[in-house]
Amino acid sequence: MPTVMRIGSLRVVVYLNDHRSAHVHVIGHDHEAVFQLDCQAGSAALRENYGFTARNVARIQDALQENLVLLCRAWENLHGIG
C-alpha cells in the first residue's frame, strides 16, 4: 500500500490489489476514511469514515481536491491504467 501523499501526519494510500473505481484511503492514528476520486469530473467525495471529525473530513477533502490530478495519476499508474 504505497503512500501517494501526506496531509500533515495523515497518509493517503492506494492499495495495490484494491478494486475499481479510483479511490484513496486516508489513514491516521486510529482513524481511516475512504474518498472516491472522480477523475473525469474533477472531484473527491467521502465514501466511508471511521473516526474522523466532520472538520477533519472537510480539511482532508479540500487537500485531496487540490491534489486530484496527482492522486488520479498515482491510482492509474499503480493499477496499470493509462
What residues contact 64, with CB distance under 8 A and at least 6 apart?
7, 12, 24, 26, 35, 37, 44, 71
> pLDDT tens digits, residue range 18-67?
777 899 999 999 999 999 999 988 899 999 999 999 999 999 999 999 99
pTM: 0.92
Residue 7 CA, distance from chain mean position: 10
Sheet of 31-38: strands edge to edge? Answer: 3-7, 10-13, 23-28, 31-38, 43-50
